[in-house]
Every structure is written in C-alpha cells, then in structure tokens.
Amino acid sequence: MTALHKGIVLAALQCALILSVTGKLFYDRATCPRAWVKTAQYDPNLPIRGRYLSLMLEPAVGDLFFNRLHNQRVVFFVPDQQTNAESLRPGRNATELWAEVTIPHKGPPRPIRLGIKRDGLTEPVPVN
C-alpha cells in the first residue's frame, strides 16, 4: 500500500468518525425530549476562550426533568458574525434568559437555542 492510499484511508476514517458523531447528535435532537429551562450565569474555569455563554440550568422544582437538569452546567457558543454575546448577558434590569435543551438518555443536556422570557412567553433569540 502506498503512502497515498494510506492517506486516503486515514482521511476516510476521520470523515466517518465525524459523520457518526454528527449523526448521533441529530438523531438525539430528533428523538429525545426538549425543554425550556431558566438559566443563570456562572464563571467557569475553562482553558478555552471565545464567544460563549456559561449557563447553569435552574429548572422549577416540579418540572418533569428536574433531577436530570438541576445544577447542570452548559456552554452555549455564539457565532462571531451574528450576535454580540455581551448583549445576552443579563444585567440589573434584564429579563430572564432561558435555554432550550435536548435531554439525552445519557450524558449532560445539550443547548439548542436561547430565549428571553417576557410577559410569560419565551421569545427565541436569533443567534444562529
């Protein structure tokens, strides 16, 4: 086997790995339950820096998935071109920031989108 063939096989394996993870995430999003959960910000100690919001989920005590979501921490990454992440951070007079999350069978919840709750209605924030 030549070096070119080895390189092609390695590239194909890497593509298959990435596509399998992507497929699993799309499958989970289509089949697992979703929920809107109130969030609070926290300050993580992460080695990565960038445009993201560090959120702690705060479900209500009677919620269906309270045990799975209580005190879970998620990171919501914000695209560079579209939204200023600082504008989503709550201030003194800010409304409540909520996150729609997928609740997989195993593992932590995965954030889908953010929303702001006003007058009892959650409006999705156009981030993506």
**How confident is the model over 71-127, as pLDDT tens digits?**
899 988 877 665 555 555 555 555 688 999 999 988 899 999 888 887 778 888 876
The residue whose two tokens read 């390189």 is 7
Which one has a higher pLDDT value, 60 or 8?
8
Query: So what's the pLDDT on residue 76?
Result: 86
Other CB atoms closer than 10 Å to residue 20's CB: what's the count?
10
What pLDDT, on the 0 to 100 scale, is given for residue 78? 76
Q: Rounded distance, CA 90 to CA 116, Å?
A: 10
Q: What is the pTM of this model?
A: 0.74
Grade residue 32 by pLDDT with cuts at 50, 70 and 90: very high
- Look up the CATH number of domain 33-124: 2.40.50
* Lowest-pLDDT choice from 30-34, 47-51, 76-80: 47-51
First to last CA, the chain: 44
Instruction: Report, in this order, helix, strand and coil percent for the chain, each rounded to 5.
Output: 30, 30, 40
